[in-house]
Structure 1
């Protein structure tokens, strides 16, 4: 059980309270009521996580200092988190987003998300944080990401399976994004041409 600001000791009660709290914060981020600086780096991810979970955990926005695993695979060691996020940042800030077609967009999103997923920087809330981050990355392009499974038909099971397959092979340090490419292709939707870029949505 993660120590939380509510003093809850029941996992089910904590999960329910956490999702209620973070849903409010996520709505504010997505409608622009909460300003997140688009720096596309570790600081950007920390800011999203802190806004989402600041009312739940005292350590919101702080990277984990312990190893983490899920099922039969491990995520990056804490000492490697910053390096993987730096690689994601380099790809974001050097890619020609405005010129990409859908396939190119999906491929690049898959590569970037594979780094972030393997870094898995937080003790809790990596999925929600990374999806908001990727949505903000998509603002650089002619596409947006539709995470609603009723629309995209990308269920949590499909998402989790592709994410699992993207972790590095044994003996390698490099993520394998191929399984994520068709997922991001399904998530990608043309952006409304009347939709304007958000403040700060230029890679630095």
Structure 2
């Protein structure tokens, strides 16, 4: 069993040190990306068809179980917390530190919000605010070396099952999703997440299960408002350009339970 205790230990030795070690021995990054997408999509469809495959406890065990199920065919460390600190290019602060139990603290907050919210009674606006708070904490925890986006979206689908809404990720572009996710991280020197940038995203992707009367331009109007808010916030920051890159930006995949 491989020990993953350094940044390099997740990767193959040179000249293949741009590729994560994987269960099938793929050394080409693009080939691994294709294999990973195919296998996690298949597993995501299984989870969607049979939700009972994972117990919905909305805690750290729930999050880890999703990741383990999705990536069981790809990585030895599927379902295990990352052991290294990391951030994506463009983020202003790192994700949760592996020291001091920060990952679990954010996941505990996620669990608290989910289990103390009466999801079935929420209207669209209330749902969007609550979902934004849940996702912002889960995203900041970023528990895994790879696959956090796909895991988070399955988790959010599980949360949404308790409400009047489903989530249609095709209603928001990858660019808008990634920008809103990035801006939801804590301000410099702070611990608490700032989920406001995600509220219009969830307003856009929340679809009521029963037919509802809405203006045809509802989604486009929400997205214009979101881009305006993001643009205002973005002006006040300068992105980090150094440090290890955690993973490729998560991009929603409307065709699967688990966006790629």
Q: Please state how far the C-alpha of 1:33 moved relative to its aligned partner.
A: 6.6
Residue 53 of structure 2: SS of its match in structure 1? coil
Name the count of aligned residue pairs.
189
Matches within 5 A, 1:95-106: 95-106=117-128
Query: Over residues 98-121 of structure 1, what are the superposed CA-to-partner deviations in whole Å (9 max), with x where a residue is unaligned?
Result: 111100000000001000001100
CA distance in 1, matches of 2:166, 2:40: 22
Counterpart selection for 2:183 from 154, 158, 165 = 165
- Superposed structure 1 runs of 4+ greater than 3 Å apart: none
1:77 aligns with 2:97: yes
Partner of 1:32: 50
In the alignment, the residues of structure 1 paired with residue 87 and residue 194 of structure 2 have an alpha-carbon distance, to the nearest angstrom, of 17
State the Cα RMSD in Å.
1.2
Distance of 1:33 and 1:93 partners within structure 2: 18
CA distance in structure 1 between the aligned counterparts of 2:151 and 2:210, rounded to whole angstroms: 24
With normalisation by structure 2, the TM-score equals 0.71
Structure 1 residue 137 corresponds to structure 2 residue 159:
yes
Task: Establish whether residue 65 from structure 1 lines up as the match of residue 83 from structure 2.
Answer: yes
User: Which of 43, 66, 70 is matched with 1:52 structurally?
Assistant: 70
Q: Which residue of 1 aligns with 2:114?
A: 92
Q: Distance in 1 between matches of 2:52 and 2:161?
A: 16
Residues 99-151 of structure 1: per-residue CA shift (max 9 Å, x gap): 1110000000000100000110000000000000000001111111111x2xx
Asked whether the 8 Å contact 1:41–1:89 carries over to 2, the reply is yes
Name the TM-score, length of structure 1 as normaliser: 0.90
Q: How does 1:114-125 map to 2 (within 5 A)?
A: 114-125=136-147
User: What are the superposed Cα offsets for residues 150-177 of structure 1, whole Å, 9 maximum, x if unpaired?
Assistant: xx1x011110000000000001001100
Structure 2 segments unaligned to the other structure (5+ residues):
1-18, 212-260
CA displacement at 1:9 relative to structure 2:
1.2
2-side partners of 1:185 and 1:13: how far apart? Answer: 36
Distance of 2:50 and 2:181 partners within structure 1: 28
- Bigger radius of gyration: 2
- Which deviates more from structure 2 when the two are superposed, residues 34-43 or residues 116-125? 34-43
Looking at structure 2, the residues matched to 24 and 188 of structure 1 have their Cα atoms a distance apart, in angstroms, of: 24
